[in-house]
Amino acid sequence: MASAAQIRIVHAYLDTLACNARSASRSMAERSRLEQLGFGGNPEVQRAFDGRLDEWDRHRHELSDGIGAAADALEAVRAAFDAAEDQLVSALDDGG
């Protein structure tokens, strides 16, 4: 029969994934676009460049939100493992 001391769920992997995802999400959200780059008198090129930067900003924020959601999911999985482990340990300690 297994005992509580023999039950091990390694949480470091989930913790590391969640931490890295949260860090990547935060980094992407905090980075600002280049605003000082000019093309010396060519307004058409400048407008095209500004438009591309606006698109990148929008996509960057969407990606940041998605990575943040992945970090939330990893943290929820970790919490579920904790709860399952607690229940299993309790059942084994009770002889169940």
Q: How far apart are the first and last CA of the chain?
A: 10
Joined tokens for residue 26: 């935060």
> What's the rounded Cα separation, in Å, for the pair 4 and 96?
12
**What range defines the domain where residue 20 resides?**
4-35+44-89
For 40-77, give one letter per residue: b (16+ CB within 10 A) or e.
Answer: eeeeeeeeeeeeeeeeeeeeeeeebeebbebbeebbee
How many domains would you assign to the chain? 1
User: What DSSP state is assigned to residue 73?
Assistant: H
The pLDDT tens digits along the chain (96 residues) read 455 555 555 678 888 999 999 999 998 888 755 566 777 778 898 888 888 888 888 888 999 999 999 999 999 998 998 898 888 888 888 875
Report yes or no on 31 lying in a domain.
Answer: yes
